[in-house]
Structure 1
């Protein structure tokens, strides 16, 4: 009992800050989405979203892009995290600096950088044109490819650092034993390292998916009005049309949708890995 009381006292300031700065404001916004002008509970705003094909397409695009971004971060992040964990201390230091340095730069600045690279006359379209793959004056702006590239670069460090923390705790003698027993390097990675690194992959996936589903600056700038995502739709509804109840209803859809995907994923992954 004394230990529980001590723990509660230690956690009280942080919990109070969380309540005042996050839970209470968010709860107020979410309640706005299920109430009418008279304060009576209603599902009108939610049903408007769920019966409109335009908004359903936005929701599907948000989920699809978030899944693609998460998958790309896993595929590219795991090898880099393994190299950082098994490399020398100097190599690990420089790679960590390279990974974390973009986090010190504003997301808006990085997104404008991608706009320069992907826009008409940018480095990437001009290179593709020189290789004969695209026509002249080709642009990747306002495409799903641009959104995926920009968001993957923004969220990639979260995946790498999540996996790195787990891989560094894996005893290298397990890999050596698998090699002695006849495994190739790639087979050892697949049968020994990857299963043990699953907790880091799960943690990174949860971070990347939730962040990509809730981002609106990068998708809005790279995708434009042609490719709206749910977070951008919430922002537009609240600031341009000033329809706060419908914006709150979209927020409810976003929160519930993310939880419906993440909770089963986390439970199944935890059960599969003990």
Structure 2
């Protein structure tokens, strides 16, 4: 038996599992999205793309996902840099603190934010005591609440993605930049940031994808007033029982994510190769 045949046999179980877990459901979703009473149809896509409500839901989903990704990157990069440059023992504790929220259910963490951001929550009472807001102020059922909750949920993914790259950057490069007259911030911008770009791109892709497809946190913190596409798909399946239209929405979400992610991934790959 040749090495190529042996390698193919070793890859076969994983390929079959990938086909069953990913490609088959995607194919079924595509078929369902064009299913009609009288045969294949594009009416479900036409309905979505010609309805201003659903286009607004799609735009809100993309806009909030981009905002969440930018905030996670802005917080995750400095945090990852600090974790990479401290001692091994302190780094271990910082990694534990970053990973610790992942050991708690997203539902539990979201309910915690509902308590904090509610009308009688800690955030509202603190702002009221400072005289910054009125008595009936509440962050619940707002886009701000969704962003806060999603950043807390997805920040570990961004931080750990960047940390894996920053820890491999030779500190002597920063020392050389400082020797040549760069300030600390200039060395970060000209040396560390370009070298850490693959980690930032990987973390951004992961955070954006998870954010755009998230249902629990946006639905609980945003409520029925602020719909995202995942919640709209869930409503089509459970309330109106319109499975083909739900499948069409899922396909649009899937294609929309690919349209945004593929150029972004190529940009990061081109930068890293350069």
How would you bin the TM-score normalised by the shorter chain? over 0.9
Give the aligned partner of residue 77 of structure 1.
Answer: 76
Give the aligned partner of residue 190 of structure 2.
Answer: 191
Q: 1:261 is paired with a residue of what secondary structure?
A: helix
Under a length normalisation based on structure 1, what TM-score does the superposition of the two structures give?
0.97
Between stretches 143-152 and 28-37, larger displacement belongs to 28-37
CA distance in 2 between counterparts of 1:119 and 1:212 reads: 22
1:225 aligns with 2:221: no
Distance 1:194 1:126, change over 3 A: same
Give the aligned partner of residue 19 of structure 1.
Answer: 19
CA distance in 2 between counterparts of 1:4 and 1:143 reads: 56
1:5 aligns with 2:5: yes
Shift of the alpha carbon at 1:36? 1.0
Between stretches 202-211 and 19-28, larger displacement belongs to 19-28
Q: 2:138 is paired with a residue of what secondary structure?
A: coil
1:60 aligns with 2:79: no
1:208 aligns with 2:199: no
Between stretches 8-17 and 47-56, larger displacement belongs to 8-17
Give the aligned partner of residue 248 of structure 1.
Answer: 247
**Is the CA contact 2:128–2:134 (under 8 Å) kept in the aligned structure 1?**
yes
CA distance in 1 between counterparts of 2:53 and 2:173 reads: 52
Under a length normalisation based on structure 2, what TM-score does the superposition of the two structures give?
0.97
1:145-190 Cα deviation digits (max 9, x unpaired): 0000000000000000000000001011111111111111111001
Q: 2:224 is paired with a residue of what secondary structure?
A: helix
Q: 1:120 is paired with a residue of what secondary structure?
A: coil
Q: 1:225 is paired with a residue of what secondary structure?
A: coil
Between stretches 124-133 and 14-23, larger displacement belongs to 14-23
1:120-151 Cα deviation digits (max 9, x unpaired): 11011111111111111311000000000000
Give the aligned partner of residue 32 of structure 1.
Answer: 32
The alignment's C-alpha RMSD in Å is 1.2
Q: 2:223 is paired with a residue of what secondary structure?
A: helix
- Listed as ranges, the matches of 1:128-167 within 5 Å are 128-167=127-166
CA distance in 2 between counterparts of 1:73 and 1:159 reads: 6
Distance 1:93 1:247, change over 3 A: same
Shift of the alpha carbon at 1:90? 1.2
Shift of the alpha carbon at 1:3? 4.0
Shift of the alpha carbon at 1:4? 3.5
1:16-49 Cα deviation digits (max 9, x unpaired): 11211222122102210012124x2211000000
- Listed as ranges, the matches of 1:97-136 within 5 Å are 97-136=96-135
- List runs of 5+ in structure 1 lacking aligned partners: none
CA distance in 2 between counterparts of 1:206 and 1:8 reads: 30
